[in-house]
Amino acid sequence: MDQTKTGALIRSLRIKNELTQKQLAERLNVSDKAVSKWECGNGCPDISMLTELADIFGTDVRTLLTGEADIKESEVGNMKKLRFYVCGSCGNIITATSDAAVTCCGSRLTAIDPRKAEDNEKLKTEIIDGEILVTSDHEMTKEHYISFVAYQSENTFMMFKQYPEWAMQARLPLFRSGRLVWYCNDCGLLWQKI
């Protein structure tokens, strides 16, 4: 833990949460001098306080330990740079518009990088009644199936959950451009332009 970085982050988060040093100290049952010491980089909070401190600031312990709360303004809200996280234990699907600390079922998840689908892996798209019908001959068994299909563009994101032993299909409004992204529990995360 870098005392200077952690101290600067604690100060920044305290100010953002409109707390004085004294108010933060009272919530943690420490002196305001202790909070001042942390913020000046002359010490760090006891490890036993980190969870409570993270709860007060609405962050996580890892962020406090590293002293870094990176927000990349160029990525905030850009749906084209959406990150996909899939829990291997329960199949939970989590998305974020920039890097995030994501946990599920007690494990930390890492963003999955989609790979461009080969011709034989692509989903079928067909325009019917002003909509795009997305289908696939992909195996849909309990052991090997597509978990979700999503449409992604610069400002739009739609996700369609898929289930084993059901036919894989989704209906999208007719869009000019974008890409389909889907996750197979065996093949991983894939994409194709539409």
pLDDT in tens, 41-67: 898 898 888 899 989 988 888 888 888
Question: Would 73 be classed as within a structural domain?
Answer: no
Q: What's the confidence (pLDDT) of residue 153?
A: 85
pTM: 0.64
pLDDT digits (tens, 9 = 90+) for 97-149: 877 888 899 888 999 999 999 999 999 999 998 899 999 999 999 999 999 99
User: pLDDT class for 75, splitting at 50, 70, 90?
Assistant: very low
**84 torsion bin: left (phi>0), alpha (psi -120 to 50), beta (else):** beta
> Which amino acid type is present at position 75?
E
> Percent of the chain beyond pLDDT 70?
94
User: pLDDT class for 91, splitting at 50, 70, 90?
Assistant: confident
- Judge if 102 and 61 occupy the same domain: no
- Could you give the C-alpha distances from 69 to 4, 7, 36, 125, in angstroms and in order? 14, 12, 20, 41
User: pLDDT class for 74, splitting at 50, 70, 90?
Assistant: very low
Q: What's the confidence (pLDDT) of residue 76?
A: 52
**Count of domains forming the chain:** 2
Give the structural domain span for 156: 79-193
Domain-ending residue, one of 66, 88, 117: 66
Question: Would 173 be classed as within a structural domain?
Answer: yes
Mean pLDDT, the chain, rounded, equals 88
- pLDDT of residue 6 exceeding 60: yes
- pLDDT of residue 78 exceeding 80: no
136-165: average pLDDT: 92
Give the residues across from 162 on adjacent strands.
Answer: none
Residue 59's domain is classified under what CATH number? 1.10.260.40
Alpha-carbon gap, residue 11 to 34, rounded angstroms: 12
